[in-house]
Structure 1
C-alpha cells in the first residue's frame, strides 16, 4: 500500500478546513441529498462526502457502507486531493499499485472502483472529495464525470452556505442589520434548494425528467384544475435487445443510444406531452388530452423515427400504450401500459400494443 503524500501547503489546507467548523458535525440532509444524487449518477453502490483531516479521513455523509472515519494512510481520497483540478478515477483498485493491498480493498467494503472529485475551497485549498465507489470494477464515462464534478461544486456551495450561517449565528447579536443578513441567506438557500430539486428530478445522461418527476407530472395530468377527469394516455417504451448493444458494442455506445433516444423524445413530444427516462433502457411518455387511438398513432411515428436514427447499427423499440380510466390510480395505468409493452415484446418486438 502506498500512503498518500501530503500537499506542500498542508498547513494552509488544514487552516482552510478548520474555518468551515464541519469536522465531527451531525448529519445534514443537504449533504445526504447530494450523496444520493452522486450515487445514482455514477451507478455505484456507495458514495460519500469526505474531508481529509491531519491524520484521518472523516465522512460528513456516506451511503452504502457503515463507517465514520478512516486512517488517512488508507484513504484513496488522500491521493485524490493531490490533484485538485481533476477527478481521480481508479477503475480496478486490485490492479493499481497504490491500492491493491489497501485494507479497504482486501477487506470490507472491498473497494474495486473509485472516483473522487476534489472539494476545493474558494481560496483553492482541496479539503476532501465527493467520491463514488463500488465492489465491482467500473468505468466513468465523460458525462458522468462531468456530473460528478458539478455535484462536488454543489457540495462546496452547501459548505459555504453552512459557514455563512454559522458566522451569522455568531455575530447576529452584535450587528444591528442581522435581519438583512438572514434574509439574504434565506434567498441563497431557496435558490440552492431549487437547484438541488431540479438535479434530483433530471436524468443526468439523457437530460430528460426522471421517474420521480414523471410520477408527479402524471398525477397532475389526469385531472383538470377544477378536479374533473382529463383524457390522458401513458406509453412505456423499451429498447429492444439493449443488453446485446452493451455486451457487443460497449457501454459507451449503449449510453450514446440512450442519449440519442432522449433527444428524439424531447423533439418528438415538445409542446404536446412529456417524455422521461423510467429506468435503464425504459422510457415513459405522458400524452395529455389524447385518446388511445391518437396515442397509438403518435407512438407508431415514434417507433419509425427510432428505427431511422443514424447510429450506424439497427435500433428498435417496443411500446405499450394505455389510456387512463376514471377511478383508476395512476400506478394502475402505468401497470396496464407495462402489460401492453410486455405483449409487444412477446409478439416479436419493434411494435406498438395498446391496453384494452
Structure 2
C-alpha cells in the first residue's frame, strides 16, 4: 500500500473512469511540470531505442515514447532508472524526496523517476561549478536511496506525456536544490564516493571540470605568448575529451562546452601577473609558518578533521595553508569509508 493515495493517469488519453475535472487538473499539472520552456528545442527522441535516437523539433519529439528532458548544458530535471518490478514504490521506504513523475512500464513495472528543478543548473560553466557540485551530490544520494541503475546517464527518459507509459504524479511543485537535499545525507559514501563520482550522471561533469582545471592551472604557462589563446583553447578541448573516459561518456558537445568554459576562465585569470599575485597571496609568512607547524601526515589529518567538522575548502585552506588542489584531495578522502 502507498503511504498516501496516488493520482495515476495516462496523460493521453486519460483513464476512462476519470471525470472531466480530474482530467483537466492532471493534464495541467503535467503541462506545468513538463513545460516546453524546460525542454530542448530539438531533443533526442525515439519510439524504439533498439533503432537508435533521432533529433527532432520538440513538437515532434513530444509524440515519441522516449525523449531527452534536459537542454544541452543545463539540468532542468534529475532522472533515475529503477529496473525492478516494484519500481513505482521505490521511494516510499527510503529517504528519497517525493518524485514529481514516476513513469512506469505497465508490462514489467520498471520506471524512470523524474525530479523537476525550480531553477535549471548549468552543467558546463566553470564559473558555476559549486551549484553543479551540490546538485551532483544530491543526485548520487537519491540514486543510492532508490537503488537506481548507476550506469544510467539520464540522457533519455520515458516520455511522461506518452500514453504508452503509466505516469504517476506524486509532487506537483518543482524543487529547489535545498528542498531536494532536505532529507538526504550528503556526507555519506553514496554522496561522495569516487567510484560513483566517476561513472554516474552529473558526477561525470564535476570530474571532468576538476581534473581539467587542475591540469590547466599549470599547462596554461606554456601558451603565454602573442596569439597563444587559440592554441590554448584547442589544447584544453583535446584534454577534456581525453578525460571523458566513462562507461557512459558525456556527449561531445557537452565536453566541448566544459572545455571552452574552463579554457577561457583560466586564460582570463591566470596571466603571468595574476600568477605572481597568487604566489604572493599563498606564500605569506603567516601561511608558511602554518605549513611549518603542520607537516606531512599531521597536516593532512588536520585537514580531514576540518572537513569532517563541516568546514569548506576555503576555510580549510585558510586554517592549514594548503593549496586548493590539496584541499580538494583531502575533501574526497574525508568522506571515504
Q: TM-score, normalised by structure 2?
A: 0.26
Larger Rg over CA atoms: 1
Structure 1 or 2: more helix by fraction:
2
Highest RCO, 1 vs 2 (Cα 8 Å, sep ≥ 6): 2
